Amino acid sequence: MRVKAENLVFTLFFSLGLLLYALGEENPVTGPVRRVAYLLFSPLLKAERELEEEVEKLVLLARELKAGSRIYSMYKKQLERERVLTERLRQYEEILDSLERDLELEFPRTAPYVISKIVFYDPSGQEKFFVIRDGKNKGIKEGDLVVARGFVLGVVDEVYYSTSKVKTLYNERCSLLVSVEDLNKAFIYRGSYPYGELLYVDLQDPVTKGKTVRYKDLTMRIPPFPVGKIVSVSLSTNPYFKDVKVKPFLSPREAEFVVVFRNS
């Protein structure tokens, strides 16, 4: 059966070939046959042309869709890049805001300094120390004064190569030479939590509540940055001195960037 079918198909195509060859010859006998064949086959030829046109349109549409898909993919990537850039810009703006806020002070020309960033806070909640990002690599030494927003935060305690530990105004091991508003006299500030204290304040010293305590640099290179405000004055257990409590102006957790004033 398969052989017969193949023979039939071959015969059909062979006959069709002869017919087309005959129709192609210019003679009066085949003219009517050509016209009849044209009438019979023209719809098929027209349908074939229309099919080819539709296929061409589909191919063009597929190309346009592919190009559109490529453009959409590029657009999505561009949107993602813009989103990332916008997020980075927001982060940079936050950092700049923190810098402007924390470094809002007049930098002296006579004292070398290093701008650094706090990377770790005291987890105990008493704010007795914090760690900054720079150390020996920036020339920081023990005893250097640490300031933020124009207020004293503490003193460098331990120095490593790229980090430093700072003891704060709440630390019992922190002591500073200070002066009191309207008084031409030096006192010792000693840290404590939640309030620090002034040592060796004589009974006759006019130290009163509400006055500002400032850092005192005997070399006059570092400005008298504020340390805190006196919150209470009372008699101490020592009959020769007053008990003076000082509340620091700034907590370390309120700052992100600091200025370290180097002693040399």
**Other C-beta atoms lying within 10 Å of the C-beta of residue 65:** 10
Distance CA 123, CA 10 (A): 94
**Residue 179: both structure tokens together:** 């002066």
- Segments of the chain with pLDDT less than 50: 3, 9, 13, 25
Tokens 């806070």 sit at which residue? 121
What does the pLDDT read at residue 201? 94
What does the pLDDT read at residue 36? 56
Is the pTM value of this prediction over 0.75? no
What does the pLDDT read at residue 31? 55
What does the pLDDT read at residue 72? 66
The pLDDT tens digits for 80-98 are: 777 777 777 677 666 666 6
Check: CB of residue 127 under 8 Å from CB of residue 170. Answer: yes
What does the pLDDT read at residue 73? 72
What does the pLDDT read at residue 79? 74
Tell whether the torsion through CA atoms of 97, 103, 107 and 111 is positive or negative: negative
Tokens 């005959």 sit at which residue? 22
